[in-house]
Amino acid sequence: MNDPIVGIDLGTTNSEVAAVIDGEVQVIDDAGETILPSFVGLGPDDQLIVGTPARNQYIVYPERTVKSIKRLMGTDEQVSLGGDQRYSPAEISAVILRALKQRAEKKLGVAVKRAVITVPAYFSDRQRQATRDAGAIAGLEVVRILNEPTAAALAYGAGRGGASTLLVYDLGGGTFDVSLVRIDNDITEVLASHGNNHLGGDDFDRLVADSILARLPGKLKRAIEADRRAMSRIARAAEEARKRLSFEPHTFVREENIVDINGVPQHVEIEIDRDELEETILPLIKQTLESVHRALADAGKRPGDLDGILLVGGATRTPLVSSLLEEATGFTPRQDLHPDLCVALGAGVQAARIEGHDIERVLVDVSPWSFGVSHVGYINDLPSDHCFRAVIGRNTPLPASRTEPFQTLYDDQKSVRVSIFQGEDRDALKNVFIGDFLVEGLSEVPAPNEILCRMDLDLDGILRVTATEKATGLSKQTTIERATAALSESDLANARARMRELFAGADDADDDFDDGDDAVPIYEWPAVVALLARSRSLLDKMPVTDREDAIVLNEQLHLALENGNHDEVARLSKELEDFLFFIEER
C-alpha cells in the first residue's frame, strides 16, 4: 500500500475517512474517535484547531469558531475565525480534509495523496469544483467526486447481485436529501433527487432548545437568552438530549451554574421524553416525506418499484423517522450500517475498487434477530397479554443498547415478570422464549407505574436485560449468554417447554406448542382492567347496597389479578360483567 486511495465523507456536521485495512474497508479512528466534528477554530493562543477541540471551544468562543461550512460551498461568502483575516469555504474545508489526511497517514504508515470525496447529489458544478479545490489545498488529488447516496448504496453492496433501485434517505446534521438510485454492478444512475440543504439535526436541536427555554421561569429564560455562552450550553444540551432520546424513552437536561441572577447561581434541570421530542420535530420530518414523494414522482416511480430504503445520517436514528417512512412506503428502512459512517464507508469501497481491490460491501456485526419482551396489548385488534415489543430490533449494529418503557396494569402492583423473547412475530408465543425474571418490591402507587426495560447486546452475543422502576430506581438484571447463537434442537425443545409452563393455557399457544394437553384459556388482562375502570365509573350511580356489592367484587378481582389466579380472574370478571350489565340496564 505505497499509494493508497482513501474515501472521505466531508460532512456538514461531521466528517470521516475510510480505507482498506487488513482486506476490509474501515473508518479510520484517532485515539478511538472515528468521527471528526466539522468545526474549525482559532484557540486562545491563536493556534489553529479542528474537530473535537474546536467543537468544544464553540461553546465558549463561538466568534472564533466556524461550523457547517459545507452549506457555503460554491458561494463567494467568506468567514472569520475571530481576527481580520477572512477565509473561503474551500479553505476552511481544506483544514478539515488535512486533519483527515493526517489521521489516515498515521494509521496506514504511508503518505496519503489521493482521495475519493463525497458530496450531496444536488450539489451544483460550482459546489463540486469547490470541493475539488478544498482537496487540492489540503494536498490531495481528488480522483473521484462521489454522490453521497451512491456511496451509501455501495456500502450496502447494492448492485452486485443484480440491478436494484434504492431510495436513500439522508438526514444529517445540517442537510437533508433523498435520492432514487439505480445500481447495476459498477453502473450507478441517480434517477431523481430532492431535499433541503438547510434542514437537519441542527434544526431539530433548535426546536428542542426552544422547548427547554419555554419551560423555564421568565427571569431565568431572559438571563440565558442574553448570555451567548449560556445559550451555547443550552444548544449543546439540546443536541445531546435529542441523541439520547433515539435510544431512551426519557432523558434529563442538567446544566449547573448556567447564569447568575443577582449574584445567585442558577441551574437548569428538565426532563424530556421521546413523545415530546417527536411532537416537536414532527413538522420537519413531514417536510422530508414531501421530498420523498417528490423524488418518486420525478422519477416516475411508486413505492412498490423500490427494492429497499437506506437510512443515512445521524438524525435518522430518531425512531419517528423509520416509523413514518415505513408507514408512507410499506418498506422497513435498512439501518444495519452506522448511519454516521455509512457514506465514508461507501467512499472507501469506491476508493478500494479504484485501487483494484475486489470489495463487495462493508461487513458489519448486526443482531440477527429482534430481542424484546412480552406485554399486555392488542394483536389484530384483540386484547392479549403476550404481545411482543422489540427493544433491540433485527439488524441493529452491534454493540447495541436500547431502552423501552412499559407500565404496570393496576394500582399498587408490587411486582412484574419480565419475559424475554427472540424473534419477529407480534405474538410473543410464536417467538423463542430465552429467559425471564421477577422484579419485586415496586412502589404501591396508582397505575400506570412506569418500568424501563433496557437491553445491552455485545459483539459476543451476551444480552443483559435490566428492568428499572423509573420513579425509584429499583432494578433487577439478568444476563443471557450466546443470545445471538442459533438454537440447537434440544435448546428449542427446552425453550418451548419453558414457554408451555410459563404460558400454560394461553390462547393461540396450541398453534405452535400443543402437546396434546387440554388448555385452560387465560382471561385477557386488558379487558379486566377496562372492566374495573368501568365499574369504578358507575359506583356513584349505584344504590348503596349495589355499591357495596360492586366494591367487594372489585377488591376480589384485584386480589385475583395480583395473585395471578387465572381461574378466579375469569370467574370474577364474568360475575362483575353480569352485575354491571344489570346496573346499566336500569
Grid cell locating 237: 444540551
199 and 314 fall within a common domain: yes
Exactly one of 16, 133, 170, 205 is catalytic; name it: 170
Within-domain flag for 548: yes
- Number of folded domains that form the chain: 4
Residue given cell 445471538 in the structure block: 484
pLDDT at residue 433, rounded to an integer: 84
137 and 187 fall within a common domain: no
21 and 148 fall within a common domain: yes
Residue given cell 439478568 in the structure block: 478
354 and 332 fall within a common domain: no
204 and 65 fall within a common domain: no
Grid cell locating 158: 447494492
Q: Which domain-ending residue is among 321, 336, 351?
A: 336
Which domain range does residue 149 map to?
1-156+339-361
pLDDT at residue 369, rounded to an integer: 84
Exactly one of 9, 133, 255, 469 is catalytic; name it: 9
pLDDT at residue 492, rounded to an integer: 53
Separation of alpha carbons 10 and 442, rounded Å: 50
4 and 129 fall within a common domain: yes
Judge contact between 401 and 386, C-beta under 8 A.
no
Separation of alpha carbons 203 and 281, rounded Å: 9
pLDDT at residue 382, rounded to an integer: 77
170 flagged as catalytic: yes
What is the pTM assigned to this prediction?
0.72
186 flagged as catalytic: no
pLDDT at residue 512, rounded to an integer: 44
Residues 6+ apart with CB under 8 A from 477: 437, 464, 465, 466, 467
122 and 194 fall within a common domain: no
pLDDT at residue 518, rounded to an integer: 33
Exactly one of 16, 30, 67, 70 is catalytic; name it: 70
Q: What is the pLDDT along the chain (586 residues), one digit of tens a residue?
A: 578 999 999 999 999 999 999 889 999 999 889 999 999 999 888 899 999 999 989 878 888 999 989 989 999 999 999 878 899 999 999 999 999 999 999 999 999 999 999 998 888 889 999 999 999 999 999 999 998 988 998 888 876 666 789 999 999 888 888 999 888 776 778 888 888 878 888 899 999 999 999 999 999 999 999 998 899 899 989 999 999 999 999 999 999 999 999 999 999 999 999 999 999 999 999 999 999 999 999 999 999 899 889 999 989 999 999 999 999 998 889 888 889 999 999 999 999 999 988 776 666 677 878 999 998 888 887 777 788 999 998 878 888 899 999 988 888 888 888 989 988 888 888 888 888 888 989 998 988 899 999 999 988 788 999 999 999 989 898 888 777 665 555 555 555 555 555 444 444 444 444 433 332 233 345 566 667 667 766 766 677 777 777 877 877 876 776 566 677 777 888 888 878 777 766 6
175 and 310 fall within a common domain: yes
125 flagged as catalytic: no
94 and 119 fall within a common domain: yes
122 and 182 fall within a common domain: no
Grid cell locating 83: 481576527
CATH code assigned at 324: 3.30.420.40
136 and 14 fall within a common domain: yes
Exactly one of 133, 148, 404, 469 is catalytic; name it: 148
Grid cell locating 198: 438547510
